[in-house]
Amino acid sequence: MPKTIVNPPELAKPVGFNHGILARGAAVLFLAGQDASGPDGVIVAPGDIVVQAERVLANLRAVVEAAGGTMQDVVKLNVYVTDRAAYKANLKPLGRLFRDHFGAYYPAMALFEVSSLFQDAALIEMEGFAAIEEAA
């Protein structure tokens, strides 16, 4: 399924995300907010945003793969954090995590700092959309 990266020259060059992705001929998967819950519903690694981000991405991967897609089918991610400064302080290890899950591909992304998430120990949550090629 063709996806076209859209980064207009009049916008700042994106680093670690793309401004837009045009997907044609795809089924849309709506990804619910995933936090760092393990299979037991308990948040892993309280206080560690990097370890929690790894779990969040693994949870997203499970949903995308269950729908027949890959992480490269994710076209939009909203990232919610309770501490933007902690996120920014960990950009290098977080960048490695994103590359581990997405390769050289980056979805369109936005970061939001929020006062809290549903589970008190959650530091990060992600939700978004995937465009998965429909079977012929």
Give the model's confidence band at 79: pLDDT under 50 very low, under 70 low, under 90 confident, else very high: very high
Higher pLDDT, 15 or 86: 86
**Is pLDDT above 70 for 43?**
yes
Residue 51: give its domain's CATH number.
3.30.1330.40
> What's the number of domains the chain is made of?
1
Q: Which residues, 6 or more positions from 108, have their beta carbon under 8 angstroms from its beta carbon?
A: 17, 18, 19, 20, 21, 75, 76, 77
Higher pLDDT, 135 or 95: 95
- In whole angstroms, what is the distance from residue 129 CA to residue 75 CA? 6
Q: Determine the residue type at 135.
A: A
**Ramachandran angles phi, psi of 63, nearest 5°:** -70, -45
pTM value is 0.91
- Name the average pLDDT for the chain: 94
- In whole angstroms, what is the distance from residue 75 CA to residue 83 CA? 25
pLDDT computed for residue 24 by the predictor: 83
Strands 108-113 and 20-23: unpaired
- In whole angstroms, what is the distance from residue 3 CA to residue 52 CA? 29
Write out the residue range of the structural domain in which residue 48 sits.
Answer: 3-133
pLDDT computed for residue 82 by the predictor: 98
**Is pLDDT above 80 for 111?**
yes
pLDDT computed for residue 1 by the predictor: 65
Tens-digit pLDDT profile for residues 4-27: 889 999 999 988 888 888 888 889
